[in-house]
């Protein structure tokens, strides 16, 4: 009987560790880009690369675009190279590994999800 209790306790602990680990792995599967300003008087450009596949796409930014409009452009560009996105105001979460984004003409901050 003692062995069965130990086996059950070990199984529950192993399951808990697996769930905790999988949550941590999923947490690192996204990158959040928050536009702190849009474009000024000059145009800009967003380039998104999927380093895992080598695919790249670029979109132009018009002068005087708002931060939210720039975020929308990034949100539309990333799926073209195989990423899923989530748009919320001036922030875009890009899900996946190998996300490389270059932004010219607008200010942005980047953080891991």
Enclosing domain of residue 79: 30-112
Structural domain includes residue 87: yes
- Identify whether the C-beta of residue 35 lies closer than 8 Å to the C-beta of residue 91: yes
CA 109, distance to chain mean position in Å, is 12
The per-residue pLDDT for 17 is 40
Q: In the chain, how many domains are there? A: 1
The answer to the question of residue 98 being in a domain is yes
Asked whether residue 8 is domain-assigned, the answer is no
Domain contains 18:
no
Examine residue 16 and state whether it is found in any structural domain, yes or no. Answer: no
Chain segment 35-68, per-residue pLDDT in tens: 999 999 999 999 999 999 999 999 999 999 999 9
pLDDT per position as a tens digit, 78-96: 999 999 999 999 999 999 9
Residue 15 counted as domain residue: no
* 23 in a structural domain: no
SS3 91: strand
- Determine how many CB atoms are found less than 10 A away from the CB of residue 90: 20
CA angle 26, 32, 36 (to 5 degrees): 165
In residues, how long is the chain?
A: 113
In a domain, 100, yes or no: yes
């Amino acid at each position: 009987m003692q062995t069965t209790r130990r086996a059950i306790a070990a199984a529950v602990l192993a399951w808990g560790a697996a769930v905790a680990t999988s949550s941590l792995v999923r947490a690192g599967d996204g990158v959040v880009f928050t536009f702190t300003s849009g474009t000024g008087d000059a145009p800009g450009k967003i380039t998104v690369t999927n380093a895992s596949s080598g695919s790249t796409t670029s979109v132009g930014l018009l002068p005087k675009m708002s931060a939210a409009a720039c975020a929308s452009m990034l949100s539309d560009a990333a799926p073209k190279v195989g990423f899923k996105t989530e748009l919320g105001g001036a922030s875009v979460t890009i899900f996946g590994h190998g996300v490389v984004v270059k932004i010219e003409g607008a200010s942005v901050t980047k953080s891991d999800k």
